[in-house]
Structure 1
Amino acid sequence: MPKLLHMICSPREQSESSAAGRMFVDQFRQAHPDWDIEEFDLWREPLPEFTGPILDAKYARIDGRGFSHEERDAFAVAERLAMRLALAERVVISTPMWNFSIPYKLKQWIDVISQPGLTFRFDPATGYLPLLSDRPTLVIIASGSDFITGMNRGRIDMATPYLREALRFIGIRSVQFVPVGPTTGPADPIRDARDNAHRRLAELASRF
């Protein structure tokens, strides 16, 4: 059974990113009833701190030496997290924008799975090479500002380019971004932004 992995990156169930992600997944489920939907809530499932044995394991890989028992056990956690991504034919990431970029839990997940020999490798002749296969990926980013019309109130979107590059680095290039914003301020622009984003997501769900 093919699988869609939905990564939930907001700690608030009623956040705009969470609501948009649920709406898309519900529409996708209706259009693809034979697919398995896996939810990965970064705030409710444990992520390892990137320190101690798991950090040592990364440098063991870089230095070309074997793992200690502690490093092997720690690296196995990173392997399991990366495998959840690798086994998904489709990926949805619904996230808020925090302080111009992404929540620290999403960055932590990226840091844990971006390991040499796991999701990328280094070739002295050609440089860094991704190890994951490409797959359609949708990133929903909710922000207090409006980055569609340019009414961004002086804020900068560093989340979109960062996620595009972080995913490309491990092999995922077919990425679509759907912004939701503004999510703060007068009610009418918020409602219009939500409606427009949900309309676009509903259209994408049937052909994603």
Structure 2
Amino acid sequence: MPKLFHLVASPRADSESSAGARVFLDRFMQARPGFDIDEMNLWRENLPEFDGEILQAKYARMGGRDFTEGQRAAFAVAERMAVRLDLAERVVISTPMWNFGIPYKLKHWFDIINQPGLTFRFDLARGYLPLLKDRPTLVILASGGDFTTGMSRGRIDLATPYLREALRFMGLQDVRFVAIGPTSGPADHTGAARERAHKRLIELAVQF
């Protein structure tokens, strides 16, 4: 059964990004009932600290050295997480914008799986090369401000370019973004932003 991998980066079940994801996934499952949803909630996942054996494993691999038993066991955690992503035919990331960037749990996930020989490799002649296959990927990004036309009251969206580049580096290039914002302020503004985003998500779900 084909899988859609849903990475949840908001700690709030009633967040705008989570609500947008529910709208999208409900319509997606109507259009593609044969899919299985594999949800990873980063706030319920036991993400290992990136130090000690797993950090040494990274440098061992970069230096072409064999793993110790401890390094092998630690690196296996990163391998399992990367495989879970790579087994999916579709990917959805729902996340809020925090301090113009992404939540630290989402950055933590990228830091764990973005490893040499796992999601990328380095070639002396060609530079960095991705190891994951491309697949349709959707990022639902909720923000307190409205960044849909650029800066929001002098503030810059650092989340979108980071996510685009981090995903591309691993091989995921077919990435679409749906912004939900502003999520704070007058109710008529936030309601209109939500309605626009949900309409776009429903449209995308049919063709995703």
Q: TM-score range, shorter-chain basis?
A: over 0.9
The runs of at least 4 consecutive aligned structure 1 residues that moved more than 2 Å come to none
8 Å contact kept, 1:134–1:174: yes
- 1:150 offset after TM fit, Å? 4.8
- Report the CA distance between 1:137 and its aligned residue: 0.1
Q: Distance in 2 between matches of 1:27 and 1:106?
A: 25
* Number of equivalenced pairs: 208
Counterpart check, 1:86 vs 2:52: no
**5+ long unaligned stretches in structure 2:** none
**Displacement of 1:26:** 1.1
Normalised by the length of structure 2, the TM-score is 0.98
Which residue does 2:52 correspond to in 1? 52
Instruction: Verify: 1:16 aligned to 2:13, yes or no.
Output: no
Alignment of 1:136-175 (within 5 A): 136-150=136-150, 152-175=152-175
* 3-state DSSP of counterpart to 2:207: coil
Which deviates more, 25-34 or 76-85? 25-34
Report the residue type matching 1:83 in the other structure.
V
Q: In structure 2, how many angstroms separate the alpha carbons of the residues matched to 1:119 and 1:150?
A: 31
Q: Tell whether the 8 Å contact from 1:92 to 1:137 is kept in structure 2 after alignment.
A: yes
Which residue matches 2:129?
Answer: 129
Deviation per CA, 1:157-183, whole angstroms, max 9, x where unpaired?
000000000000010000000000000
Q: Quote how far apart the aligned CAs of 1:154 are.
A: 1.6
CA change 1:119–1:150 in 2 (3 A) is closer
Distance 1:90 1:119 in 2: 17
Please identify, of 144-153 and 130-139, the stretch whose mean Cα deviation from structure 2 is larger.
144-153
**Quick one: structure 1 residues 120 and 150, their matched pair in 2 at CA, closer, same or farther if it must change by over 3 Å?**
closer
> Unpaired runs of 5+ in structure 1?
none
Change (3 A) 1:106 1:175: same
Could you tell me whether the CA contact under 8 Å between 1:9 and 1:96 is conserved in 2?
A: yes
RMSD value, Cα:
0.8
Structure 1 residue matching 2:12: 3-state secondary structure: coil
Q: Which residue of 1 aligns with 2:72?
A: 72
Give 1:108 deviation, angstroms.
0.4
1:105 corresponds to which residue?
Answer: 105
Q: Residue in 1 aligned with 2:207?
A: 207
Give deviations 1:36-89, integer Å, cap 9, x for gaps: 111110001111111110100000000110001110000000000000100000
Q: Identical aligned pairs, as a percentage?
A: 69
